[in-house]
Amino acid sequence: MMQQYDVLVIGGGVVGLATAGLLADASRQLKVIVVDANTKPPREDTRLGLRVSAIANGSIEILERLGAWDRIESERRCAYEHMRVWDSADAADSASALRFDADDFGLPYLGYIVENTAIQRALLHRLNVLGVNVRYGASVESIDREEPQVVVRLSDGETITTDLLVGADGSSSRVRDCVGIDVSRIQYQQTAIVTHLRPEHDHEATAWQRFLPTGPIALLPLSDGRVSTVWSTNEPDNALAADDETLGRLLTEASDAVLGELTVDGPRGSFPLNAHHARNYVTENIVLVGDAAHAVHPLAGQGANLGLQDAAVLALTVGDAVSGGVHPGERRVLRRYERARKGENATMMHALTALNRLFASNLPFSSELRRTGMQLFNVSGPIRERVVERALGSKPVR
């Protein structure tokens, strides 16, 4: 069967769903559908899911604009007011540890740690209200251009003809491969080990991050007092093979017991880490957003935030074009989006790669250099503000 839509979004992750919602919201004339290869995110589970993300203020503004933020249950999101970043050569409370406090920037919080599936559920609710169709269990078989549209054949036998095809299908994007967009890649030789932990001491609404020569470990606060860890390491074998008790001990050591003893209290997962960047984000009628276009090291919790910024800029660009009577898939329209986002995403990818390398370096003086740099950073008002502004995706009040 052949169906006709103005916009087809492939991928119902956080970025794909937000893109669909923002596009439908930007122009009520647009008939939008999302297709995802996976099954629908489960209805609310009593347990918190494995994947949580640090969601910055700028992204919260986007989710608020969509009416999705308030639908995220309070037990599935936790505001963090402070951030502490330190080198393994020093202590978390040393003068060279980086400190960010929401108060210093006139903000109530620096961001939230939010369960990924809770964001998806909130977005799905809004898509339903906006009349966006979402189809699960179907992946892309083929993509053919039939000017001025694209014809997409799906694995469930359906064919969709669309003016604009959005590839939001993550790191291994099939849309990107089908249209032959090349990517540059950086291999980190690190694996991220993710689980939830019960800390001995209060997490103090703080996102903690310690840089070790083997990679950074983050402890992110959850609303029930637990913390979620992302431990990026180039020596993952012991941790991957460890039972819960041993893993808790390894994580306590890696975090320098900043929150006392850590006890594993949740599901576990591991993710091989690499970064990539698509050489182009657009061709005629086709555009990439989120991890399909770029993936960054998780050390600053920026991946989903960059993707949500992509979604907002694309919706604005396409919305303007449609209200001016311009075809939404025109290359010059999509290029406007690409120009606005590509440089910013590339800068973030390279900055995070450099940071990861700097902290992993054992070269003579590198530890002293880091210490001096971090001390200077702590007292450099405008530079600190610029960094925080970038990381939060919005301007601090002061």
Binding site residues, ligand FAD, CB under 6 A = 10-16, 35-38, 53-54, 139-140, 168-170, 174, 192, 194, 230, 271, 290-291, 298, 301-305, 307
- Per-residue tokens: 215: 């990679």
Angle value at C-alpha 166, between 111 and 140, nearest 5 degrees: 115
φ and ψ at 384, to 5 degrees? -55, -45
Minimum CB–partner distance for residue 376 and ligand FAD (Å): 27
Q: Which is nearer to ligand FAD, 296 or 322 (CB)?
A: 296
Minimum CB–partner distance for residue 365 and ligand FAD (Å): 31
Q: Which is nearer to ligand FAD, 215 or 290 (CB)?
A: 290
Q: Which is nearer to ligand FAD, 134 or 322 (CB)?
A: 134
The residue written with tokens 């209805």 in the block is 43
d(CA 233, CA 240): 11
Minimum CB–partner distance for residue 397 and ligand FAD (Å): 22
The residue written with tokens 């559920």 in the block is 121
Q: Which of 188, 231, 191, 192 is CA-nearest to residue 208?
A: 231
Minimum CB–partner distance for residue 297 and ligand FAD (Å): 9
Q: Which is nearer to ligand FAD, 252 or 302 (CB)?
A: 302
Give the sign of the dihedral formed by CA 28, CA 31, CA 37, CA 38: positive
Q: Which is nearer to ligand FAD, 307 or 329 (CB)?
A: 307
Q: Which is nearer to ligand FAD, 11 or 199 (CB)?
A: 11
Q: Which is nearer to ligand FAD, 16 or 266 (CB)?
A: 16
- Per-residue tokens: 284: 């005629």
Q: b vs e for 48-73, b when ≥16 Cβ sit within 10 Å of the residue's Cβ?
A: bbbbbbbbbbbbbbbbeebbbbebbe
Secondary structure class of 364 (helix, strand, coil) = coil
Question: Under a CB-based contact definition with an 8 Å cutoff, are residues 166 and 9 in contact?
Answer: yes
Q: Give the pairing of strands 2-10 and 111-115.
A: unpaired
Minimum CB–partner distance for residue 299 and ligand FAD (Å): 9
The radius of gyration of the chain's CA atoms, rounded to the nearest angstrom, is: 21
Minimum CB–partner distance for residue 17 and ligand FAD (Å): 8
d(CA 49, CA 196): 9
d(CA 119, CA 235): 32
Minimum CB–partner distance for residue 362 and ligand FAD (Å): 25
Q: Which is nearer to ligand FAD, 143 or 259 (CB)?
A: 143
Secondary structure class of 265 (helix, strand, coil) = strand
Q: Which is nearer to ligand FAD, 211 or 371 (CB)?
A: 211
Minimum CB–partner distance for residue 37 and ligand FAD (Å): 4
Minimum CB–partner distance for residue 382 and ligand FAD (Å): 25
Question: Under a CB-based contact definition with an 8 Å cutoff, are residues 210 and 92 in contact?
Answer: yes
